[in-house]
Amino acid sequence: MIDLHAHSTASDGTESPADLVASAAAAGLGVVAITDHDTTLGWAEATEAARRAGVALVPGIEVSCGRRGRSLHLLAYLPDPSHPDLVAELEQARDSRDSRLDRMVGRMAAAGIPVTVEAVRAEVDEGATPGRPHIADALVRAGVVTHRDEAFARWLSDDSPFYVSHYAPDPVRAVEVVRAAGGVPVVAHPSSRTRTGTVGDALIEELAAAGLAGLEVHHRDHEPHDVTHLTDLAARLGLFVTGSSDYHGEGKRNRLGENTTDPDVLERIEASATGAEVVRA
């Protein structure tokens, strides 16, 4: 089984990169991708763990993009982590996320929500990409809510009065940078109706013209009609189709291997990547 979308404590997952790989092995996966938000921090630890566990690892990144207030997440598989343009975009995004965290917590505290910057910072591993899930974790730890989902529903959604945006490259720019870094770009959960909103066909067509390789079609957030529509759209645009869990440990209810990718798609990803390589024992 091949699961091409999973997160560790390098961003907003709840398991270390090594524990993520161990969980993948325990779930019966033969291949797992580590795709933390805007960082490659977990790659080295996950690589060592994958070789020990006998699980193939696809090093990747989930790049946060935006256009006119709308979010899009781009999965970048096997890019060169040292490519200057990629490094610069990721650093700018992480710096912006960091300052945004303080501003959101400040707004929430001023409204009487029992959360502090110190408590939120304690939830973020050193060097990890900070995000709204860490605010949610602080609220869970304080007993204010029972799960991240509850925190997002009450206070942390994009339309919340406490929401603060952060820097995110235009998705066309992101596709171009990922390609320049030798990576393979795939739109994550394009029809998700949860935190990021749906991605319209017109934008996907624009991204395909810029070098997009695939669509993450099989995902927990997609209804059957979404899967049918996205599969047809991918075929029309010459894009491949992936399936993934979007695993975050206990941070989401998604389970490893609940959606998977065909082996021939992984072969296509490897064949077109010139940045990094799949790690095999």
Q: What is the CA radius of gyration of the chain?
A: 18
**How many whole angstroms separate alpha carbon 55 and alpha carbon 51?**
7
Q: Looking at residue 281, what is its pLDDT?
A: 80
**Which amino acid is residue 65, in one-letter code?**
C
Could you give phi then psi for residue 34, rounded to 5 degrees? -95, 120
As a whole number of angstroms, the distance between CA 266 and CA 220 comes to: 20
Q: Would you say domain 2-91+166-272 falls under CATH 1.10.10.10?
A: no
Topology annotation, domain 92-156: DNA polymerase; domain 1 (1.10.150)
Digitized pLDDT (tens) for each residue of the chain, 281 residues in all: 999 999 999 999 999 999 999 999 999 999 999 999 999 999 999 999 999 999 999 999 999 999 987 889 999 999 999 999 999 999 999 999 999 999 999 999 999 999 999 999 999 999 999 999 999 999 999 999 999 999 999 999 988 999 999 999 999 999 999 999 999 999 999 998 754 457 889 999 999 999 999 999 999 999 999 999 999 999 999 999 999 999 999 988 999 999 999 999 999 999 999 999 999 98
Q: What is the pLDDT of residue 197?
A: 56
pTM for the model: 0.92
Quote the pLDDT of residue 4. Answer: 98
Domain with CATH 3.20.20.140 in the chain: 2-91+166-272
The residues, ordered by sequence, that sit 6+ positions from 132 with a Cβ below 8 Å of its Cβ are 104, 152, 156
Distance in angstroms (rounded) separating the CA atoms of residues 158 and 194: 9
Looking at residue 194, its pLDDT comes to 58
- Cα four-point dihedral sign 260, 195, 252, 22: positive
Parts of the chain belonging to CATH 1.10.150.650: 92-156
Instruction: Note the Cα 3 to chain centre separation in Å.
Output: 13
